[in-house]
């Protein structure tokens, strides 16, 4: 039996994920997990935006794990 291959990719939006997932499905990859990760603000962001930091939170990133047998 062949070993499983795993790959993790990050996407900025749902449209990019759907396009890539369809392409990978034709190559034999299937989605195992999906999760959304929100970046922390960070010190540089606080210094640049100051009191406006809560008004412009970082965008969440879609993290998807694929597997292929």
Digit-coded pLDDT (tens) for 25-62: 999 999 999 999 877 666 666 666 666 666 667 788 99
Cα separation, 18 vs 1, whole angstroms: 30
User: Residue holding tokens 């970082």?
Assistant: 58
Range(s) of the domain holding residue 55: 5-68
- The pTM score is 0.73
Instruction: Tell me the C-alpha to C-alpha distance, in Å, between residue 25 and each of 22, 60, 68.
Output: 5, 24, 9
């Amino acid at each position: 039996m062949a070993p499983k291959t795993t790959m993790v990719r990050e996407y900025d939006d749902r449209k990019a994920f759907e396009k890539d997932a369809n392409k990978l499905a034709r190559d034999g990859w299937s989605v195992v997990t999906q999760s959304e990760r929100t970046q922390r603000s960070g010190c540089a962001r606080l210094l640049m935006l100051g009191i406006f930091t809560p008004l412009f939170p970082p965008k969440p990133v879609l993290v998807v794990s694929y597997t292929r047998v």
